[in-house]
Amino acid sequence: MSPVIFNLVAAQSGTGKTTILEKLLPELKRRGLRVAAMKGNLDHYDIDLPGKDSYRFSKAGAGIAGFTTPEGFFLYGSEKGKSGSEAAADLLTNFDLIIIEGNKKSRHPKIEVVRSEVNPDPLLPDHTIAVLSDRFDLKLDIPVINIYDIKALADFIINYFIENRHEETLDSEGLTHFDQAGRPKMVDVSGKKETTREAYAKGEILMDPATFTRVMAGSLAKGDVLSVAQVAAVMAVKETGRLIPMAHPLGIAGVEVDFHPKEEESKIEIGVRVKLTGQTGVEMEALTGVSVAALTIYDMCKAVDKNMVIQNIRLIEKKGGRSGHYRREQD
Residues designated catalytic: 299
Amino acid at 308: M
Q: Residue 304 carries which DSSP code? A: T
CA distances from 286 to 25, 237, 257, 272, 274 (A): 40, 7, 10, 5, 6
Instruction: Please compute Rg for the chain using Cα positions.
Output: 25
Measure the CA–CA gap between 104 and 191, rounded to whole angstroms. Answer: 30
Element (DSSP H or E) covering residue 7: strand 4-10
Would you say 87 and 36 are in contact if contact means Cβ atoms under 8 Å apart?
no
Query: Mapping DSSP to helix (H, G, I), strand (E, B) and coil, where does residue 59 land?
Result: helix
How far apart, in whole angstroms, are the C-alpha atoms of residue 118 and residue 259? 40
